[in-house]
Amino acid sequence: MTATVASVHPETASARSLTIDVPGWRGNIAGQHVDVRLTAEDGYQAVRSYSLASSGPGATLQLAVDRLPDGEVSPYLVDDVLPGDQLEIRGPLGGWFVWEPSLAGSVQLIAGGSGIVPLMAMIRSRAASASTSPFRLLYSVRNPDDVFFRAELETPTPGLEVTWAYTRATPTGWPRPTGRVTGDDLSAHCFPASENPAVFVCGPTGFVEAVANALVLLGHDPARVKTERFGGA
């Protein structure tokens, strides 16, 4: 279907979010994604999948895209696309990595970098539905300037706890040293396995695999740990 870019907003130095109007869009479940297809003047086409930061009914959706240095689609979406430009969208897609307000129980979200995008849709869906399910987010980024959706995450809604893990640089006086998320981080900041939370992990392949393996070692049910990854295997 043909979509029109309504607005763009910078998220970081290498990323921005796009609000897109899609006539006939019936909404989506938090955690789903879309395929975006670009067609060059010579007819060459490139298709890439992007998670949705929005959910629910309505004909407007939001993407948040990080520029890949060797990417074919992301540099255009981050650097060139303007309000009024049109994109080809297919979706919504995906039914496994999703959360709906009808689901009860604790929810643990763990994001690496731009992996926050589908998890943000879940956070927003929870707030919009007035769900009372307890949410925790552990968000790993390289430095404070790489945070997506900063304003929303720095003022979380009641029932949402946010923990930051910086891998390369921290704010002044930050108590946790820089470094990748460890089993100790997961033990300290995530719901314990005894609560049997629904866990959603999204980020680069290596990050997701390391976190998922550590969660299983901590006793989490593998069937309750859902993952979505991007990048090379």
Strand partners of residue 39: 45
Helices (H), 82-204: 116-129, 150-154, 183-189
User: In the structure, what pLDDT confidence band is assigned to residue 222 with cuts at 50, 70 and 90?
Assistant: very high
Predicted pLDDT at 82: 97
Helices (H), 33-146: 74-75, 116-129
User: In the structure, what pLDDT confidence band is assigned to residue 233 with cuts at 50, 70 and 90?
Assistant: very low
Spatial contact of 211 and 186, defined as CB atoms under 8 Å apart: yes
User: In the structure, what pLDDT confidence band is assigned to residue 231 with cuts at 50, 70 and 90?
Assistant: low
Predicted pLDDT at 70: 87
User: In the structure, what pLDDT confidence band is assigned to residue 232 with cuts at 50, 70 and 90?
Assistant: very low
Q: Which domains occur in the chain, in start order? A: 2-93 (2.40.30.10), 107-230 (3.40.50.80)
Q: Is the peptide bond before 192 cis (omega within 30 degrees of 0)?
A: no
Average pLDDT, the chain: 95
**C-alpha dihedral over 29, 222, 158, 137, to 10 degrees?**
-90
61-114 pLDDT per residue, tens: 999 999 998 889 999 999 999 999 999 999 999 999 999 999 999 999 999 999
Predicted pLDDT at 41: 84
- How many angstroms separate the Cα of 190 from the Cα of each of 129, 161, 201? 23, 10, 12
For the segment 146-150, the average pLDDT, to the nearest whole number, is 97
| List of residues 6+ apart from 162 with CB closer than 8 A | 136, 137, 139, 153, 154, 156
14-62 pLDDT per residue, tens: 999 999 999 999 999 999 999 999 988 888 999 999 999 999 999 999 9
Instruction: Please give the share of the chain, as a percent, with pLDDT higher than 90.
Output: 93
